[in-house]
Amino acid sequence: MRVSVFGAGYVGLVTGACFAELGHDVVVRDVIEAKVDALRAGVVPIHEPGLDEILARNAERLTFTTDVGEAVAGAEVVYIAVGTPPTYSGDADLSDVWTVVDELPEVAHRIVLAMKSTVPVGTGRAVRHKLDDRGLQNVGYVSNPEFTAEGTAVRDFMQPDRVVIGAFDDADADVVASLHDGIRARIVRTDVASAEMVKLASNAFLMTRVSFINEIANVCEATGADVVAVAEAVGLDHRLGSHFLRAGIGYGGSCFPKDSLALKQLAANSGYNFQLLNAVIEVNELQKRRVIGKLERRLGPLRGKRIALLGLAFKPGTDDMREAPSLVLAGRLLSEGADVKAWDPVADGAAHFHGVEIAETALDALDGADAAVVVTEWPELREVDWAAARERMRGNVIVDGRNHLDPEALRALGFTYEGIGRPIL
């Protein structure tokens, strides 16, 4: 089939590349000319494991353009994968979505407009009305939300837990379902509003698990239990499972924070106070800041103290800095008067932090530091020569915000190690 994807971001590129891998002809359209030029030249503008390879392997089935007409010509399915960031009010900003709907040209044959962007419940209904107002009755509409996680997006797309398709018209759902031939996954068909809610509810549930285990971690800290042992045993209960039970300094990223706000706001706009979600969001905000208290207890006032931030991206495997906890942490440290030096293997620290020195290597970041904070659990951090780090640091404090490093090994090297929700020695 011929597929068009609007938006060459984290979702659009993976969607386009994976549909090409399944044998479809794909045109990816973006409004940023430099991005399209780079993609045409074989340069992938984001860090996503496996994406470069899959784009290169399917180059003859993939075209990139800024031109709407070229993107839509001959397409049977047009995907919307543009950003839906939060507005000041917390609602999702759908202006890029509406631009695509407005730009859609009249088409001679029936096409299906498929929504991959995460949107509030009711968006599909509003888009349907808009299409009808424009006389585009031969444009069908489905909600086909995306569940991939950055860092594993290609694998997640090709081996999803489920493909959700919400449609007004069964024939449109059939078209989108057949696009996924070759992917072994349960196809879940729903109405449009329910498909939209599946995405928001899934993310909210994952966030709830994160905030839940973080609160358990905080109580563990206060009572002498070890959240790592607790989470492992809790996760063995088949009714609960082990995913998203890793205590740490909170979630970030381009999806969880904005989608939780959008769901909270969606509920509020409908007259409902989503209390549990409010708590999940608040716990996460407080969790990011707990590191400051841990550092102060070890070092005293942070003015003039040198702090190394290890990892900046919101999670390993991506260069995405959107809503990364490192941003809050660095901001708090700077406002306390600390000197901050940071390292990340892929994220562009210089572009996101002012007043923070960016180091080439983790060891360089640790040079002269009073304390190190593990912010992102990059595997590289386990390979650091921590004995050498101990020599190069001015102090010996490690706050492991992801419970990523080996406490025993570090304590044996003379470090004062503190994790999240673990016994404090």
Residue 256 interacting with ligand NAD (CB under 6 A): no
Residues serving a catalytic function are 255
Asked whether the beta carbons of 417 and 407 are under 8 A apart, the reply is yes
Nearer to ligand NAD, 79 or 386 (CB): 79
All residues at 6 or more sequence positions from 286 whose CB lies less than 8 Å from its CB, including other chains: none
162-167 vs 186-190, strand pairing mode: parallel
Q: Does 214 bind ligand NAD (CB under 6 A)?
A: no
Residue 100 touching ligand NAD (CB under 6 A): yes
- 146 binds ligand NAD per the rule CB under 6 A: yes
The total of other beta-carbon atoms located within 10 Å of residue 283's CB is: 18
The Cα–Cα gap between 397 and 418 comes to: 8
Q: From the list 32, 185, 286, 350, which residue makes contact with ligand NAD (rule: CB under 6 A)?
A: 32
Q: Scanning residues 65 to 84, which ones bind ligand NAD (CB under 6 A)?
A: 81-84
Q: 377 is written with which tokens?
A: 């659990």
For the chain, what is the total number of helices (H) and then of strands (E)?
A: 17, 14
> N- to C-terminal Cα distance for the chain?
61
Q: Is 148 in the site for ligand NAD (CB under 6 A)?
A: yes
Distance of alpha carbon 50 from its chain centroid, rounded?
17
Backbone angles phi, psi at 46, to 5 degrees: -125, 165
- In angstroms, the CA 58 to CA 42 distance is 11
Q: Which stretch binds ligand NAD (CB under 6 A): 30-38, 124-132, 214-222, 416-424?
A: 30-38
Instruction: Report the residue from 21, 25, 76, 150 that binds ligand NAD according to the rule CB under 6 A.
Output: 150
> Which span (24-32, 244-252, 292-300, 349-357) binds ligand NAD, by CB under 6 A?
24-32
99 near ligand NAD (CB under 6 A): yes
* Under rule CB under 6 A, residue 317 binds ligand NAD: no
Give me the least distance between CB of 9 and ligand NAD, in Å please: 2
Number of residues that bind ligand NAD (CB under 6 A): 27
Site for ligand NAD in 260-299 (CB under 6 A): none
List the one residue from 4, 19, 20, 29 that touches ligand NAD (CB under 6 A).
29
Please, which residue, 151 or 401, has the CB nearer to ligand NAD? 151
* Number of residues assigned to the chain: 425
Cα 106 from chain centroid (whole Å): 34
| Range 102-121, binding ligand NAD (CB under 6 A) | 116-118
How many Å apart are CA 298 and CA 399, to the nearest integer? Answer: 10
Interface residue list for ligand NAD (CB under 6 A): 6-12, 29-32, 35, 81-84, 96, 99-100, 116-118, 146, 148, 150, 254-255
